[in-house]
């Protein structure tokens, strides 16, 4: 008889990922998500982890991602985000200026 979700519970990461974007920002987010799905996620999954897109800030060019699974506690996950994923996204999506980890 108890509620499934308590009032005031924090939104899930997936709720943030469903933020709607319009115009050019929507196209950029689609490119980012496609790159994560096709290039990043398979590589991260080989190490027992996952990567979740949270949001893109069109004004600053910052992409917010989080690592899950084995990658969440991995000491090299920050280096993976900054050197690997950030460099790749900047190369393919010039509007991206940085990648930040969501904890």
The reply to whether 7 falls in a domain is no
Region 69-93: what's the mean pLDDT? 80
- Give me the CATH number covering residue 44: 3.30.300.130
Whole-number Cα distances in Å, 91 to 2, 20, 80, 83, 96: 49, 24, 15, 12, 9
pLDDT of residue 63 exceeding 60, the answer is yes
The reply to whether 38 falls in a domain is yes
The reply to whether 10 falls in a domain is no
Per-residue pLDDT, 99: 92
Q: Is 56 exposed, middle or buried (0-12, 13-18, 19+ CB in 10 A)?
A: buried
Please count the structural domains in the chain: 1
Region 58-80: what's the mean pLDDT? 80
Region 49-62: what's the mean pLDDT? 93
Instruction: Identify the domain containing residue 34 by its residue range.
Output: 23-101
The reply to whether 39 falls in a domain is yes
Please give the model's pTM, rounded to 2 decimal places: 0.75
């Amino acid at each position: 008889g108890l509620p499934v979700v308590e009032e005031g519970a924090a939104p899930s990461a997936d709720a943030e990922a469903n933020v709607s974007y319009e115009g050019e920002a929507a196209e950029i987010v689609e490119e980012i998500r496609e790159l994560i799905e096709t290039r990043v996620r398979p590589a991260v999954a080989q190490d027992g982890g996952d990567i979740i897109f949270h949001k893109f800030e069109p004004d600053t060019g910052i992409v917010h991602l989080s690592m899950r699974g084995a990658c969440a506690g991995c000491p090299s996950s920050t280096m993976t985000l900054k050197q690997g994923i950030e460099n790749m996204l900047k190369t393919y999506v010039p509007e991206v200026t940085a990648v930040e980890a969501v904890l």
